[in-house]
A = this chain, B = another copy of it.
Amino acid sequence: MAAKKPISTRAKAPTIRDVARVANVSIGTASKALNANGRLSTDTREKIKRVALEIGYRPNDLAQSLHRSKSMTVGVITNDSFGRFSFPIFEALEERLAAEGIAVFMCNATDDPARERQHLDQLLGKRIDGIVVTARRTDNRPPIGPLPVGLPVVYVFTHADEDDALSLLPDDESGAFMATQHLTALGRKRIVHITGPDRFEAVRLRIQGYRRALKDQGLNEQIHHGPWSEAWGRQAVDKLFSGEAPKPDALFCGNDQIARGVVEALRDLGIGVPRDVAVVGFDNWEVMTEAARPPITSIDMNLKALGREAGERLIAMISGQKIRGAKRMPCSLVIRKSCGASAENSSEV
C-alpha cells in the first residue's frame, strides 16, 4: 500500500498520455486497453492496465459523464439541521444509490430559501441526475424550483405542496391508529392523547388515527397540545392526575420525549406504569424509550425503509418512469414494558 506523502501543492493527476509513455505504447493503444475496446493482445492489454494502476491513473468520470447522458450524481437538500430524523433516511438512501454507483451531494439549506436556491443552482451546474428533498415537517412545503423540465425529484419526510410531485412519508394516521388500537385491545378505556403543536401535519394525522381507533370501540377522546418536550409530558400528567375528574388509564403520546416526561411524572406520583396507566410513545427514539423506567412502547416510522424507498423511486425516475403523488409508508409498533402487553400488566415502579 502506498504511504501517503507529505502534503505539497497538488501534483497533476496522471493522464492517459502518461500511461502510454510509461508502457511504451501509443496513446491510441493505451486508450483501447483502458476503455476495453478495439483489438489488442491480452498481454498488451494487461500490461497497460498494470502500468495505469502503478502510476495511479484513474479514468476521468467528469470526461466520461460528458459523453454519457448521466452524471451519476444526485443532490440531497435537507432543511433538518437537527438531523435526528433525516440522518437515518439519508443513510439508507445513500446506501441504495451507492449500490448503483451514484454519488450523493449533500446540501443543508437550514430553512433559508436563498441558501436553498444557491444550493440548487450549484447542483444543477453539476448536471445532477436527480434531487431528493428532505425536511423537518411542520406543514406542506412549497415545491423546490424552478428546475429543468423532467429532472426527477423525490420529497421524503416532507409533503410537497404540488400535485405533480412525489412525496414519501410515514403513515402517521395508521401509526397512531395502531398505537391506540393496541391500548384498546389491552382493555384500556380512558385513553388520553398528549401531543405536539397543531401546526404539524403529523400531529393532525396522528389525531385522526387516534380518533378512528377510539370510534371503533365507542370510546371518548381527550387531546392536549403542547411543545415536543419532556417538560410538557410532566406538566400534562400533573394536570390530568390532580383534581377529582376520573383519571386516564392510558396515555398515547405524540412523541417519545413527551412519553418520557409522562413516565417520569407518573413515577414521581407513585402511579404504576403499566399497572395503573399504560403509556405508548411515537418515533421509537431508543435514546428515550430504552432509558425510561419502564422502557416505553413506541411507534417506529421505519425511516431507513423510507430512505431506501426514496432511492428506489429516484432510480426508477432517472430511468424514465413517471411517479407522482403522496405515498405513505407503514409504521410499526415496538412493544416494551410501558404498555403492559408482554409483561402481563406487571409494574416496573
Write 23 A-B pairs (CB below 8 A) sorted by A numbering.
A3-B162, A4-B143, A4-B146, A6-B164, A6-B324, A7-B164, A7-B322, A7-B323, A7-B324, A10-B150, A10-B152, A60-B125, A61-B125, A62-B62, A62-B65, A62-B66, A63-B66, A73-B126, A83-B87, A98-B107, A98-B115, A103-B105, A257-B287
> For A151, what are the chain B residues with a Cβ–Cβ distance below 8 Å?
10
Instruction: Check B150–A11 contact: CB distance below 8 A.
Output: yes
Looking at the assembled complex, report how far the CB atom of A21 sits from the nearest CB atom of chain B, in whole angstroms.
18
> For A195, what are the chain B residues with a Cβ–Cβ distance below 8 Å?
none
- If A4-B145, A103-B122 touch, whether A13 touches B261 (CB-CB below 8 Å) is no
Known: A4-B165, A6-B164, A62-B66. 11 other contacts (CB 8 A): A2-B145, A7-B323, A10-B318, A10-B320, A12-B69, A58-B125, A59-B125, A81-B91, A95-B108, A98-B122, A103-B126
Query: Does A1 sit at the interface, judged by CB under 8 A?
Result: yes
Count class of interface residues, chain A:
35 or more
Interfacial residues of chain A within 311-326, with CB under 8 A of chain B in the complex:
317-318, 320-324
Instruction: Check A127–B291 contact: CB distance below 8 A.
Output: no
> For A125, what are the chain B residues with a Cβ–Cβ distance below 8 Å?
58-61
Instruction: Check B4–A153 contact: CB distance below 8 A.
Output: yes
Instruction: Check A148–B11 contact: CB distance below 8 A.
Output: yes
Cα distance A69–B11 when bound, in Å? 10
A residues lining the B interface (CB < 8 Å): 1-13, 56, 58-63, 65-66, 69, 71, 73, 76, 81-84, 87-88, 90-91, 94-95, 98, 101, 103-108, 110, 115, 118-119, 122-127, 129, 143, 145-153, 162, 164-165, 229-231, 257, 260-261, 264, 287, 291, 317-318, 320-324
Contact of A61 among B69, B76, B127, B162 (CB under 8 A): B127
Instruction: Check B103–A5 contact: CB distance below 8 A.
Output: no
A70: nearest chain-B partner, CB-CB = B10
Looking at the assembled complex, report how far the CB atom of A155 sits from the nearest CB atom of chain B, in whole angstroms.
11
Cα distance A90–B320 when bound, in Å? 33
